Structure 1
Amino acid sequence: MTICLVLPCYQTRESILPLLEKVGLEIDWVILVDDGCPEKTGVYAIDNSSDSRLVLVEHGENRGVGAAVVSGFRKAIELHADIIVRIDSDGQMDPSLIPQFIQPLRGGLADFAKGNRFWSPETMSGMPAIRLIGNVILSFISKVSSGYWSLMDPNNGFFAIHAAVVRKLDLKKLDNRYFFESDLLFRLNTVKAVGIDIPMYSVYQGEKSNLNPAKSSIEFLVKHIRNIVKRVVYNYFVRDFNAASLQMVIGLFLLCSGTTYGCVNWAYFSSHGTYASSGTVMLAALPILLGFQLLLSALQQDINSEPKIPLHKLISVDYEKNDSMTE
């Protein structure tokens, strides 16, 4: 199998050469994507490394980490890659772990493998508290928006993916900046790709992040809500219509109608200084309880519907059928 490593490069000149020295022989090509870096990190690496596997892709201007990874994907496909690995170039990710990410794809267990820093207390030990709290919250929101309930640490940039699955994605639609990892999971779910978590450590040495937490929190929330709506509509009302679809419709109707009825009556009786009868209270409470229960049941079905059959195996079957028909 041909394996390509994609390294987005932006202001990581100090760490790039030590990182390249750690890249193992399992990698056939190392694609350096210089994303309009003012330090010319990619060019610097090419000029100062004797590694013949290096391939340079340059952006004339900074487009964002997501756009850099997509450019790396496109180059890897040009190089006929079977598996594409992506890590950051700032030295926080250990290239010696790459074989662990590749193995599930080689063995046909998954379509992509993603790093998980929350696997155990030991893997979380070096993470700053503020990052830990923020990543836990983002991980839960991402589970809802992506549909990958068994995966954790969605913003982890260490992953390996089968090239056949990358070809199934509309790369133009992927987010260009820091929401890329979460958006990639959402897109992978729409094609029913199977993912797996790989335990890993990260090294934190006081690196400054270019991410603005206040601004990005609002931006990420809006984009997650957008993806939740898209995924639910596509999976439960366009691609399929099943029991979970009915539960969502009826549950939302009951929840909204019960809440509306309760609020209207609460305002009415409060303005008249009287108490609502037990029957009025039940007419408001019962639809809310039933609606909430139906939505919980739909949620459980969504959790159980996480993809289980690797997509690249199905693609291989399709190719074999086409070849036999041609013959």
Structure 2
Amino acid sequence: MRIAVAIPCYKVLQHVLGVISAIGPEVKVIYAVDDACPDGSGRFIEEHNSDPRVRVLYNLENRGVGGAVVTAYEAAIVDGMDIVVKIDGDGQMNPALLPLFVRPIIRRQADYTKGNRFYRPESLRGMPSVRLFGNAVLSLMTKFSCGYWSSMDPTNGYTAIHTAVLRQLPLAKLERRYFFETDMLYHLNTIRAVVHDVPMDSVYASEESNLKISKILPEFLHKHISRLIKRYVYLYLLRDFNIGSLYSVLGALLCLIGITFGGFHWLHGMATGLPASSGTVMFAALPLIIGIQFLIAFLHYDVSNVPREALSPELSDED
């Protein structure tokens, strides 16, 4: 397997050379992407780096971490790479873990791997409590919107992907900034790619992260709701209509009937002062109770419907 590493470079002059030097010999090409860095990280790398595997790519305008990674993805596809591992240039991702990320892909057990700092309690010791809470909330939202119920730590940027799967993704449509990793999971689920979490420890260097949980949670909530609706419509109404589709449609319909009927008679009782009969209450409660059970059944189906068979072997054979 021809393995490449993508390093987005934006204000990482203090650590990027150390990151490059720690990348093992199993890697064939290292793409260092200068994302219109005001510090001139691309020039800095070209002047001080001695590793012949390094190829500096330049974005003429700042595209965010997602735009920088997509630039490296496109170069890796053109160069015929098999796997692309994304490592940040700020020293917070240990390059020694790279074999753990590519191993499930090489063994054809996964199409995409990502880091998970929530796997062991000991891994969270270096994570601030606010960031820990924010990541837990984002993980829960991602489970609903992206459908990978066994995955945690969606904002973790230590990832690896098979280029055969990359070719199936709309790279030009991917989110460019902090929502990039989550948007990747959403698009991977639409093509039924297998995602595997790799346990890793949280590391915080001297660089201060620009990711502010208090600011991104409202924005992320809106985007998660949008992806949830799109995923449901595409997977359960357009591509297929299965038992999960039936559960969800009947559940939503019955809940709507129960709420509408019950709400109407509640308002009527408030206006007239007459209490509703037991039959009226039951007729309102029964469809609501059954509808909730149907929605729970749909959720159970969605959880069990996580992709389990890797796409990359079949896609590689087609290539």
Give TM-score scaled by structure 1 length.
0.94
Give distance in 2, aligned partners of 1:104 and 1:58.
31
**CA distance 1:25–1:145, shift in 2 (3 Å):** same
Give distance in 1, aligned partners of 2:28 and 2:263.
64
Give distance in 1, aligned partners of 2:294 and 2:163.
39
Q: For residue 49 of structure 2, what is the aligned residue in structure 1?
A: 49
**1:120 Cα deviation from its structure 2 partner:** 0.9
Q: For residue 323 of structure 1, what is the aligned residue in structure 2?
A: none
Q: For residue 96 of structure 1, what is the aligned residue in structure 2?
A: 96
Q: For residue 195 of structure 1, what is the aligned residue in structure 2?
A: 195
Give distance in 1, aligned partners of 2:211 and 2:121.
26
Residue type of the alignment partner of 1:301: Y
Q: For residue 125 of structure 1, what is the aligned residue in structure 2?
A: 125
Residue type of the alignment partner of 2:182: S
Deviations 1:147-186 (A, max 9, x none): 1111111110001111110011110111011100000000
Q: For residue 279 of structure 1, what is the aligned residue in structure 2?
A: 279
**Contact 2:162/2:312 (<8 A) preserved:** yes
Give distance in 2, aligned partners of 1:302 and 1:210.
34
Q: For residue 84 of structure 1, what is the aligned residue in structure 2?
A: 84
Structure 2's unaligned 5+ residue stretches are none
**CA distance 1:265–1:98, shift in 2 (3 Å):** same
Q: For residue 257 of structure 2, what is the aligned residue in structure 1?
A: 257
Deviations 1:218-265 (A, max 9, x none): 221111111111111111111111111111111101111211222222
Q: For residue 301 of structure 1, what is the aligned residue in structure 2?
A: 301
Query: Structure 1 stretch 112-121 or stretch 265-274: which is displaced more?
Result: 265-274
Give distance in 2, aligned partners of 1:309 and 1:69.
26
**CA distance 1:316–1:50, shift in 2 (3 Å):** closer
SS in 1 for 2:136: helix
SS in 2 for 1:90: coil
**CA distance 1:29–1:317, shift in 2 (3 Å):** closer
Q: For residue 176 of structure 2, what is the aligned residue in structure 1?
A: 176
Q: For residue 222 of structure 1, what is the aligned residue in structure 2?
A: 222
**Contact 2:143/2:151 (<8 A) preserved:** yes
SS in 2 for 1:205: coil
Q: For residue 24 of structure 2, what is the aligned residue in structure 1?
A: 24
**Contact 2:134/2:213 (<8 A) preserved:** no
Q: For residue 154 of structure 2, what is the aligned residue in structure 1?
A: 154
Give distance in 1, aligned partners of 2:257 and 2:209.
45
Deviations 1:6-27 (A, max 9, x none): 0001111111112112111111
Structure 1's unaligned 5+ residue stretches are 320-327
Give distance in 2, aligned partners of 1:281 and 1:10.
61
**Contact 2:138/2:217 (<8 A) preserved:** no
Is 1:290 the equivalent of 2:295? Answer: no
Give distance in 2, aligned partners of 1:225 and 1:90.
31
Identity %: 46
SS in 1 for 2:152: coil
**Contact 2:123/2:201 (<8 A) preserved:** yes
Give distance in 2, aligned partners of 1:256 and 1:116.
39
Q: CA RMSD in A?
A: 1.3
Is 1:34 the equivalent of 2:34? Answer: yes
Give distance in 2, aligned partners of 1:288 and 1:116.
38
SS in 1 for 2:14: helix
Residue type of the alignment partner of 1:44: F
Give distance in 2, aligned partners of 1:83 and 1:318.
17
Give distance in 1, aligned partners of 2:114 and 2:33.
20
Deviations 1:121-170 (A, max 9, x none): 01111111111100011001101111111111111000111111001111
SS in 2 for 1:28: strand
**1:317 Cα deviation from its structure 2 partner:** 4.1
Q: For residue 322 of structure 1, what is the aligned residue in structure 2?
A: none
